[in-house]
Amino acid sequence: MDTIKAAVCHEHGKPLVIEEITIRPPEADEIEVEVHAVAICQSDISFAEGGFGGPVPAVYGHEASGKVTRVGANVRGLAEGDTVVVTLIRACGHCPSCQTARPVTCETPYNSLTEGPLKTASGDPIYQGLETGAFAEKVVVLASQAAKIPDSVPMDSAALLACGVITGLGSVVNVAKVRPGQNVVVIGAGGVGLNAIQGARIAGAARIIAVDMTEDKLAMAKEFGATHGVLGTEEKPWSAVKKLTGGRGADAVFVTVGVAPVYDVAPRYLAPGGEVIMVGLPHATEKAKYSPLGMGNASQGIQGTMMGDTVIRRDIPWMVDLYEQGRLKLDELISNRFSLDQINEAIASTKSGSAKRNVIVLK
């Protein structure tokens, strides 16, 4: 067992505590990765606040990059020294979901408290949050959770590929399958929303309309490819969208904020035959409502997505390629960089809503 430094949640809703914990070596199908950078995602914050449940003590963090330092005996395709992106997409490769290219919904159970690699200094188990636990100096994860990337991608930018980028782009390309000429609305111009906007631009959408609560966020959205911005504070922002689309509405509406009331109104932005794509997820206790009659008569739908239905070793390489061509913004997504000791400050900055993505840099 190695001793590492990590940010530990001992009580939901309280600041994380930087302390030394232990991590076991990788087993047969696992790898050990020295974490160089890990981004702060809203999901980590929701877990730390207790919004998604789960036991404590826990180590969260799931949007990471680093270097492989050890591999299990059964690992193929990854080796010590490889630069990798580490994701929460833990895939067995054998269940029905994995066998139909849906590893994000892998059906093989895993208890990251009893089976996970983390323990306190006194030997008690620590919950490996989101099956990753990357707010730490090292992680031990299933090899399927990592994708090799070239050394040319900066580690802080590479970390964003683990969640925010693949979720935003994947929701557009893999889930909605946006085609050239279609109209898109993205509600929420935060870290994931900006990547949905980038995805819509790359897919060739005719109009990419960002909806957010501030002019600053709308201006930022236009830097990433939005053609128009609509303030969500307007009395009926969907009316402005209908006007921009010649009265028709959007072929796809991406809700990238975890706010249930937004889902109540999201169908109002849709064109006939359009779909609401559920990207940002509210806390478990929050509910939304919609009109089955109105949506059914218009052949509209609501589609859920986990991590943009990404297959990481299929999708991350082409995203890296777009980045290296200058067609996908990664560096520009980073608002601030913090040390691990500053993680509570980084979380506070993220919760303020002013940051695109905050990154903890360890190396």
CA 289 to chain CA centroid, Å, is: 25
Q: What is the CATH number of the domain that holds 239?
A: 3.40.50.720
Same domain (yes/no): 138, 12: yes
The pLDDT of residue 41: 95
Same domain (yes/no): 93, 233: no
In a domain, 318, yes or no: no
The pLDDT of residue 269: 98
Same domain (yes/no): 340, 226: no
* DSSP secondary structure string for all residues of 185-217: EEE--SHHHHHHHHHHHHHT-SEEEEEESSHHH
Are 197 and 265 a contacting pair, CB within 8 Å?
A: no
Count of structural domains, the chain: 2
Same domain (yes/no): 127, 203: no
Question: What percentage of residues in the chain have a pLDDT greater than 70?
Answer: 100
Domain that holds residue 200: 168-305
The pLDDT of residue 42: 92
Q: What is the pLDDT of residues 150-166, one digit of tens each?
A: 999 999 999 999 999 99
| Average pLDDT, integer, range 177-182 | 98
Model confidence, pTM: 0.95
Same domain (yes/no): 41, 100: yes
The pLDDT of residue 7: 98
Query: Sign of the CA dihedral 336, 158, 171, 94?
Result: negative
Q: Which residue has the higher pLDDT, 353 or 11?
A: 11
In a domain, 317, yes or no: no
Same domain (yes/no): 188, 253: yes
CA 123 to chain CA centroid, Å, is: 31
Q: What's the first-to-final CA gap in the chain, in angstroms?
A: 22
Reported for 1-7, long-range contacts at CB under 8 A and 24+ positions apart, including other chains, are: 1/25, 1/119, 2/138, 3/121, 4/136, 4/137, 4/138, 5/136, 5/137, 5/340, 6/59, 6/118, 6/133, 6/135, 6/136, 6/137, 7/59, 7/60, 7/61, 7/135, 7/136, 7/340, 7/343
Same domain (yes/no): 42, 134: yes
Task: Give residue 96's identity as a one-letter amino acid code.
Answer: P
In a domain, 77, yes or no: yes
Same domain (yes/no): 137, 278: no
Task: Give residue 259's identity as a one-letter amino acid code.
Answer: V
